Amino acid sequence: MATPTTWWLLPVLLVTSPCCCCSSPGPPAPPFNLKCYRPCDSKGCLDIKCEWEPKPHPDIATNYTLYWKPENQEDEQVTSSSSSDGFIRRENFESHGVLRVWVQARNEFGSVESQEFVFHTHNITKPAPPTFTSSHHDPLEIYWETICGGLQLSVGPCNVRYHTEDDQHWIEDEDHFSGSYEIREPQPNAVYEFQVRCQCDPSLMSDWSASYRIRSAEAAPVGEVDAWWDCGLQLPTLDCFLNWKNLSLSQARGHILGYEVTVFYSNGTVQLMNVSADEPSSFFFYEDGKWRLTSSLKDVSSVSLSAYNALGATKASPLPMPTPGKQENAPTIYLEMTEENLTVSWNQPAEFYDGVKQYVVQYRECLPGNGFDWIRVDKNQTRAFFKGAFKKYTSYQVSLFVVSNLNKVSQVATARGYSAQRVPSKVPSFKASHISGTKVTLSWEPFPCSNQSGIILYYQIGVNTQKVYNVNATPDHGSMTYKLDLSPGQEYTIWIRAVTVAGPGEKATTTFKINHHEGYEYLIPIVLILLLVIVTCSFGWVVCVFQRGNKMGPLVPQCLYNKVPDPSNSRIFKQMKDQINEPLTWICGPLYEPYPKISVLEVVEIVPKVFDSDKIKKETGCFQMECQDDQKADPVTEKVNRTDSRNGRKEYSKMVDSDEEKNDSWSSSEEEQSTSGYEKHFMPSASEIMVE
């Protein structure tokens, strides 16, 4: 059981325990790295300046004092100083003597001293840095001067260091130079920055001089222009914009005056365009080291691009149009994206490596945004890095292209990325697009690229409050559908929402009812077709039966002609159906007579009451009966000799029925009774028989 004393000691330990880790109070640490010199200028060298590095206690005030005395004297002199340096005035030392110098650090707990520094006052002179006087561009050479002559000292060695504008790392030449320095084979048209320091003899080395900048001479540009296509978000497309980047300073080697663009069209024509780098134009746009043609190039097979300056031009770099489509065993893209950086990596199958010259990684901000950039990557690498300002809740499409050894460009993989995601908005155009019986087809449109705020993982579809379906989010283009099988006679409320990593979005709903009779709607077209067929057949039968007495057109079958027999009514032609080729014979069939008979007519001569044969013969040149016979003979003969123009066979009146030869033994009474209306209609008339 804890005693009262224990409870009283606990807060004391808690309060004092942090101090055990702190340094205990006491005298300060001794100063170190003490050095002294006499700064000199063109007027001479005056006071001695001493510098050191202190180590004061962070919470305790510390005072520093500079002490010195001549080497052969016992009396020391003192001067107050700051925490890191102090001065010995010119009147307190000889110009050619030896001094002993040290520093004391003191606080409330005691004092300590640094190590002594012994030097000759004449040897610690430190001249001012040299000054640059002139330079030359070709060859690249600089010149400077020192103050050693004004100090009546000889010039000692000098050190030179330099770097280019592209590379901030100093390059120091270990050799000693005096008054000038030359760079052999400098980078053309590169900005060099120089610094020099010198010492006199005898003296200390001066500080580095101020920087001196100079540009080297120009040369013809080298390398190739980095050009690329911006074809939007999806291939193939007819609108592609040509983009290219400035040459690096090491490639440009001078001031680039412009670019020559050669456009090769699919029909074989060639167009040459000159883009001036100094004169603005409405045909191109320049920003942040990138050039872009303002008009798209259509029906183009490839382009070539070269940059030129006053001394020459680069080799033309060809750029073919990219081809769409994924290849077999194509790599998969992985994205790591923030608002400042985009890292793209991909796997590289072994089979895919053959024939690859390099990769091109491109990102494109969803339209109408204009964020666009690309990087060329060696075929041995599988990672690319972009630095930029990537907008939140904005879709970026990253595409991987392959440039083959034959200089063909193909898009092999794409991926979508976001620097930050949020819940999606309402799904657009959600509706029940088709209802057939109890089967319902739901349709909706994917989110437009400009409205996407995150990667859609899947869709959720809910039926009333009963069940929720998870629907795959691919494909993400074109109309999307989902089919449900519901029960008739009920009203349904269907909702849908999209889901991202940030959560589900707002619901879109639609309401409809499944009726009982909706399942028979598909029978309506079938019933209408059957009714049309029945009406057509009935009309043909009616026309065939009731219109025999009317003269019809050439396309109507013979049963509809006036007084034109149908050969099929004769039994001898029953076996000749294949020879009958009347049009539309399917509309009506022949009238069937089981035993058609051809009867013998009894001719009765009727004598007119008044007959003046002489008068008629005089007027007409013949007797009336003879003229009638002549008039009847011509059409009969013409009718006999005429063949049917429709099917190439002779008229029915020329045909002979075999039954005529079989009925010689019949009685006249049987013939009269069996004479049919068919034979009465088509047998020769009495006047025709009398002529014979």
pLDDT tens column, 88-135: 888 888 878 889 999 998 888 888 889 989 988 888 889 999 999 999
CB of 404 closer than 8 Å to CB of 323: no
Structure-token match 């007959």, residue found? 611
Integer Cα distance of 63 and 113 in angstroms: 12
Integer Cα distance of 176 and 157 in angstroms: 5
Integer Cα distance of 542 and 538 in angstroms: 6
- The lowest-confidence range among 214-228, 316-330, 462-476, 546-560 is 546-560
**409's tokens:** 């460009």
Average pLDDT over residues 450-475: 87
Sign of CA dihedral 522, 525, 527, 533: negative
For the CA atoms of 671, 676, 682, 683, what is the dihedral angle to 10 degrees?
Answer: 10
Integer Cα distance of 62 and 28 in angstroms: 7
Q: Do domains 227-320 and 333-417 have the same CATH topology?
A: yes
Judge whether residue 522 has pLDDT over 60: no
Burial string for 251-261 (b: 16+ CB within 10 Å, else e) reads bbbbebebbbb
Average pLDDT over residues 565-572: 56
Sign of CA dihedral 219, 220, 222, 226: positive
- Between these two residues, 408 and 657, which has the higher pLDDT value? 408
Tell me what pLDDT residue 387 has.
Answer: 92
**What are the residue ranges of helices labelled H in 206-274?**
249-252
Look up the CATH architecture of domain 431-520.
Answer: Sandwich (2.60)
Tell me what pLDDT residue 131 has.
Answer: 93
What tens digit of pLDDT does each residue of 16-30 get?
334 444 456 788 888
Integer Cα distance of 453 and 418 in angstroms: 8
Judge whether residue 64 has pLDDT over 70: yes
- Between these two residues, 520 and 260, which has the higher pLDDT value? 260
- The lowest-confidence range among 113-127, 318-332, 482-496, 597-611 is 597-611
pLDDT level of residue 501 (50, 70, 90 thresholds) = very high
The domain spans of the chain are 32-120, 127-215, 227-320, 333-417, 431-520, 522-591, 613-691
Structure-token match 């904005």, residue found? 394
Pick from 191, 189, 157: which is nearest to 175 by CA? Answer: 157
Average pLDDT over residues 620-631: 44
Opening angle at CA 232, ends 226 and 234, nearest 5? 115
CATH of 333-417, one of 1.20.1050.10, 3.40.50.720, 2.60.40.10, 2.70.98.10: 2.60.40.10
Pick from 482, 510, 481, 504: which is nearest to 425 by CA? Answer: 504
CB of 599 closer than 8 Å to CB of 675: yes
- The lowest-confidence range among 91-100, 235-244, 283-292, 639-648 is 639-648
- Between these two residues, 689 and 54, which has the higher pLDDT value? 54
Tell me what pLDDT residue 28 has.
Answer: 85
Structure-token match 């013809």, residue found? 220
Tell me what pLDDT residue 263 has.
Answer: 94
Judge whether residue 196 has pLDDT over 90: yes
Most confident of 223-232, 367-376, 441-450: 223-232
Most confident of 71-75, 309-313, 405-409, 585-589: 309-313
Pick from 117, 122, 145: which is nearest to 45 by CA? Answer: 122
CB of 678 closer than 8 Å to CB of 592: no
Tell me what pLDDT residue 567 has.
Answer: 58
Global model pTM greater than 0.75:
no
CATH of segment(s) 227-320? 2.60.40.10
Tell me what pLDDT residue 128 has.
Answer: 92
Judge whether residue 276 has pLDDT over 90: yes
Tell me what pLDDT residue 197 has.
Answer: 93
> Which SS3 state, helix, strand or coil, does residue 60 take?
coil
**Average confidence score pLDDT of the chain:** 77
Average pLDDT over residues 390-411: 91
**160's tokens:** 């030179």
Tell me what pLDDT residue 326 has.
Answer: 62
Integer Cα distance of 649 and 576 in angstroms: 12
CATH topology assigned to domain 32-120:
Immunoglobulin-like (2.60.40)
CATH of segment(s) 127-215? 2.60.40.10
What tens digit of pLDDT does each residue of 632-690 get?
444 434 443 444 444 444 444 444 444 444 444 444 444 444 455 555 555 666 555 55
Tell me what pLDDT residue 571 has.
Answer: 53
For the chain, how many residues are written? 692
- Between these two residues, 516 and 611, which has the higher pLDDT value? 516
